[in-house]
Structure 1
Amino acid sequence: FIGEHSYSTDEHPIAVGRPDDSDLALAAEFGKKIRKKIETADAMDTLYPVDVRAIKRPSQPFIPLFRFLRKVIKLRKSGTPLPRAPWVENESVCTHCGLCVVRCPAGAITKGDELHTDESKCIKCCACVKACTKKARVYDTPFATLLSDCFKKQKQPQTIL
């Protein structure tokens, strides 16, 4: 199901507000179908596995995808340095609450040293940025601009049962 992109910001929104009510209704219906499938199965062997490699990718409009890839190539060729991890832009704003530490799934931020992110562990998911109630943490990547500019059309969730 579709959710707000981790690089989404107020300045560069990417799927803001997702999942929306429609997405959540589809997710609830999907859950009901899964439950019914499990409850009506005679045995485990009737619950066949889904080969996710065989799932057809959702169609992607060619022009926005081409525009995005062209801009990515241009960005890479420009030599523009890309940020390696989120950072605390204004240290006086950070309250050292530790929420970024708790939310980081990679353990890239240490309690007591919230101002730093271990770049070798960071997976750039931006969970720390989204969790920071003071907006002290940022991840200003040019990819946010590219994604926001090139992919404005809302995608529909895809489910396989």
Structure 2
Amino acid sequence: MQTDAIEQVYFSPAGTTKAVVDEISKAFFGQKNEFNLMWDPLDEETVIPSNTLAIVAMPVFSGRIPDLCAQKLANLKGENTPAIAVVTYGNREYEDALLELKTILERNGFVLLGAGAVVTQHSIFPQVGTDRPDPQDRRALTTFARQCSQKLRAYPEKPLPAIEVKGNFPYREYKVPAMKPTVNDNCTLCGICASVCPVGAIPPDNPKTKDTDLCITCTACIAVCPEKAQGFHSPEYAEYGAVFAEKNSARKEPEFFM
């Protein structure tokens, strides 16, 4: 099968999930379009036709894909559209996230070429999975993408077998991290953080404040702050971070399912 376009669908607050999508996308030809769920509302049904490849990648939040993303993906529909499903996680565990993403896509009319769980730098504790995906990860992604490309060329004449991935039903309970970014005195009120917050938790007219009930701790505000004012500044953060880093220091490798 020759695809006319590639739809890259992702949620990438710190840019690492997008880096994974971009790496996979290199193996395919065609016009590349994007659904960036950071700011694309996807609030009405959107159909990706069967002559298009969908590469869908979501980060893992406490073993699930973000609830915000699951709600938006409910409106993304396929027509026996070939797809690649990927979750990214910070070298801890991805638990039920890949199964959740796979189930949403298959329920909505997509047919999976492959699925994967890829380690990226941890968004809250960047000392875990630092600088990943690294060259070794990228080589693994290239191999995975080429395998998916081979399957795509034979589709639909050669039906795609069902793919089994790790995860459990019912899914683990979705929990937003209790730890929220705060702002220090470096803040210049530029408002860049407010412009990227996917849930509108930062008021543009007063970016030193944050609605902690809305905040999902995606860390987009930290990633874009030019003054390094947004961050985790409590003593508890440093203490817990050391424990977390020690517990999750052993390198985990990408896992792919074909």
TM range (shorter): 0.5 to 0.7
Larger relative contact order (C-alpha < 8 A, sep ≥ 6)?
Answer: 1
How far 1:41 moved relative to its partner? Answer: 1.4
Provide the rounded CA distance (Å) in 1 between the counterparts of 2:201 and 2:162.
35
Partner of 2:149: 35
Q: 1:159 deviation in Å?
A: 1.0
What does residue 110 of structure 1 align with? 203
C-alpha distance 39-102 of structure 1, shift in aligned 2 (>3 A): farther
User: Does the C-alpha gap of structure 1 residues 101 and 30 become closer, same or farther in structure 2, counting only changes over 3 Å?
Assistant: farther
Structure ID, larger Rg? 1
Deviant stretches of 4+, over 6 Å: none
Q: CA deviation at 1:49?
A: 4.3
Instruction: Provide the aligned C-alpha RMSD in A.
Output: 2.5
Equivalent position amino acid for 1:104 in 2: C
8 Å CA contact 1:87–1:139 kept in 2: the answer is: yes
Q: Distance in 1 between matches of 2:218 and 2:122?
A: 9
Higher share of residues assigned strand? 2
Partners of 2:192 and 2:154 lie apart in 1 by: 43
Q: Secondary structure at the match of 2:256?
A: coil
Contact 1:83 1:139 in 2 (8 A): no
Within the candidate set 226, 241, 251, 1:154 is matched to 251
In structure 2, relative to structure 1, the CA distance for the partners of 1:143 and 1:123 (3 Å cut) is farther
TM-score by length of 2: 0.44
**Equivalents in 1 of 2:254, 2:212: separation in Å?**
32
Unmatched segments (≥5 aa) in structure 2: 1-117, 169-176
Deviations 1:42-62 (Å, cap 9, x if unpaired)? Answer: 35x82244344xx279xxxxx
Q: Given that residues 4 and 17 in structure 1 are in contact (C-alpha distance below 8 angstroms), is that contact kept between their aligned partners in structure 2?
A: yes
**C-alpha distance 127-40 of structure 1, shift in aligned 2 (>3 A):** same
Give the structure 2 partner of residue 87 of structure 1. 182
Once the two structures are TM-superposed, the CA of residue 22 in structure 1 deviates from its matched residue by 0.7
Kept in 2, the 8 Å contact 1:84–1:119? The answer is: no
CA distance in 2 between counterparts of 1:105 and 1:146 reads 29
Q: Provide the TM-score with structure 1 as the length reference.
A: 0.68
Taking the aligned partners of 1:51 and 1:110, their CA distance within structure 2 comes to 43
3-state SS of 1:159 partner: strand
Contact 1:8 1:16 in 2 (8 A): no
Alignment of 1:18-97 (within 5 A): 18-43=132-157, 46-52=159-165, 55=166, 84-90=179-185, 93-97=186-190
Aligned residue identity for 1:15? G
Alpha carbons of 1:98 and 1:27: their partners in 2 closer, same or farther (altered >3 Å)?
Answer: farther
- Cα deviation for residue 6 of structure 1 reads 0.7
Deviations 1:1-58 (A, max 9, x none): 111101125xxx1111111011111112212211221121135x82244344xx279x
Aligned residues between the structures: 129
Matched, 1:3 2:100: no
Unmatched 5+ stretches in structure 1:
58-81
Alignment of 1:109-148 (within 5 A): 109-140=202-233, 141=237, 142-148=239-245
Shift of 1:143: 3.6
Question: Are the counterparts in 2 of residues 88 and 137 from structure 1 also a CA contact under 8 Å?
Answer: yes
Distance in 1 separating the partners of 2:129 and 2:254: 12
| Alpha-carbon distance in structure 2 between the residues aligned to 1:30 and 1:97 | 41
